[in-house]
A and B are shown apart, each in its own frame.
Chain A
Amino acid sequence: MASVQYREIDGRSGGFYALLGGLGVLIAAGLGAAWSMEHHGHAVTGMSNRIVWGMPHVFALFLIVAASGALNVASIASVFGRDLYKPLARLSGLLAITLLAGGLAVLVLDLGRPDRLIVAMTYYNFKSIFAWNVFLYTGFFAVAALYLWTLFERRMNGYSKRAGLLAFLWRLVLTTGTGSIFGLLVAREPWNSALLAPLFIVMSFSFGLAVFVLVLMAACRWSGRALGDVVLNRLGKLLGVFVAVVLYFVAVQHLTNLYIARQHEVERFFLWDGGIYPALFWFGQILIGGILPLVLLFKLPSRRAIAAAAAGVILGGFAQLYVIIIGGQAYPQLMFPDKHVASSFFDGVVAAYSPSLPEVALGAGGVALALALTAVALKVLPFLPRSLADGDVDPAAA
């Protein structure tokens, strides 16, 4: 492939402004929800002293995990030298930044004291993985921006492999940090495992690519650009591999727990009698987010099937994070083994939780922010190739 031609999207059509308008409404609703939560306190949400992290965290973690995964397409091109992915690298880097921005916005606006963000940036306890994440997340913006610069600026092109490697390593550490938020909690039986870090990494591969595929398809379709089967089928196959790897890690996690007697109650809760959580696990995470995409991608490959599979992965990803984050808190903490426990703090019982409108609005606002930033960026800078038609990309290069 000689050189790829990039061009901004037109961004003057009624459809483009309608899209931005719709996303703007969602962002405004998210800000309104954040204001309400800050003004009235978190009592207006479905969260409680037992479920302290709710729907905003499901959205935020999805966006943050997907952000690091969205960068993978660029990594495959720059770090692993697959030229087929090269025309996609700029969009990949862009999504990494915008998805992270959306996720962090949700996380920060959900704080009990969002006005103290400056405190979070000036007081550090370096034993906290959260403090490390502050650096990993902000550093990721810088590293991804640097990487994009080496892709955009012709004189810097020679450095893109090194910048891509740095971004790839950074994102691996970043997602390790995100998984470790849960994996390092000693007193939570559903989480406390080193497996959470690599599980989150493979989840990021899968969720990030699914978002990337859908954004790429939408951007090409709405800007009238060709997107050939060669590129799309390759991305579809890759997504299938990632989905399978996530299923493998999930299987290892549960099979290990099933082997350990003291974890039997945990497994019974998440796989069988935990109410909404086993339902979301089996139907959301495993069926819609795992098996269905695999069937669509490998048995019925078509454009619609790839889009549907990516949508399934995203829905399954939300289900998975809901089960991990909220199910993990709902499951009672083990304080007194062999005892039935009861108290005014709802010890010993599964904590009740129903997502509230402000929480969902805040989370959806974060998604809208990520998409709006992406749309605007596509308009102002040449992130998208003029064509990804089969004749314009080199299948042999893959």
Chain B
Amino acid sequence: MNPERRQVLGWGAAAAAGAVLAPGLSLIELARARSPEEAASALQRWGLLIDISKCGECNDCVTACHEENGVTGHGRPETDAQWIRKVNLRDKRTGHAQTLPMMCQHCEDPPCVDVCPTGASFKREDGIVLVDKHTCIGCRYCVMACPYGARSFIHEAVSGQKADVPRGKGTVESCTLCVHRVDRGETPACVEACNRDGGKAMVFGDLNDSSAEIHRRLRSEPSSQVRADLALNTGVRYQGL
């Protein structure tokens, strides 16, 4: 076979392969758009991007979260559950002040999941870190392990629970990234509140989806993880820190 003929055949084979594979590739794209009935998939990695320069003195994300998830307190801040909180920072040398919302960082390698003896602390395929309320024995080891103080132990009976958000005395809980909303294709309550009433500092999205705003901004703008030294690959990223 002469070289020219061989090259023509080669081009032809490549074109045929492309024609066969292209529909499959677009099917993969379709698979990313998951219906609420489907199980969580590793094709997604849900995350948040929080621009601290836009985060002001308001508390709207906290109020919205606790309202959405039925997290009510007893006026005892030491023992009341806090799924999200505003943290105020002041630079020790320059005095530069900042404020930011802190919640479960939905780590890729969550220490809370590592230490949980029963596996009640777990990470969904799509990166959301949750507590199985049926198998949590209330040992609080995950609270000790979390680098972000993101977890609360329920110290007394809870009332006013929401149908989507089971809670219970004697177990541990934390931000679920509003998993019940995410599964309906909505955004977490904190993000919605921030964009409606606050400084529009929060973006929610799929870190794996190249067309998502969060993906685009993380690709083109600087961002950081809290305690990046622990190499946990957090799902929550900050800008302006």
Contacts and interface: CB of A to CB of B under 8 A. Distances in A.
Contacts, number: 176
Given A52-B153, A340-B92, A345-B102, 13 more contacts: A49-B151, A53-B144, A112-B171, A119-B135, A120-B137, A123-B118, A127-B113, A185-B111, A186-B147, A329-B144, A335-B87, A341-B87, A345-B149
Highest count of chain B CB atoms <10 Å: which of A40, A114, A333, A339: A339
Highest count of chain B CB atoms <10 Å: which of A40, A42, A49: A49
A186 B85 contact: no
- Would you call the interface of chain B mostly helix, strand, loop, or mixed? loop
Interface string A101-137: 0000000000111101101100111011111011000
Nearest to B133: A113
Contact of A129 (B76, B115, B120, B136): B115
The 8 closest A-B pairs by CB, nearest first: A112-B138, A112-B170, A187-B147, A130-B117, A41-B156, A52-B140, A48-B78, A125-B119
A194 B119 CA distance: 24
A184 interface: yes
Nearest to B96: A339
Interface in A158-187: 181, 184-187
Contacts of A342: 87-88, 90
A31 B227 CA distance: 41
A188 interface: yes
A187 B227 contact: yes
A116 B91 CA distance: 45
Interface residues of A, number: 51
B102 A339 contact: no
A187 B92 CA distance: 21
A81 to B, nearest CB: 38
- Would you call the interface of chain A mostly helix, strand, loop, or mixed? loop
Contacts of B119: 123-125
Contact of B92 (A111, A129, A335, A338): A338
18 contacts: A49-B152, A50-B149, A52-B143, A52-B153, A120-B137, A123-B119, A123-B120, A128-B115, A133-B117, A181-B141, A334-B227, A338-B92, A340-B92, A343-B85, A344-B86, A345-B77, A345-B149, A347-B85
Given A124-B118, A338-B92, A344 B85 contact: yes
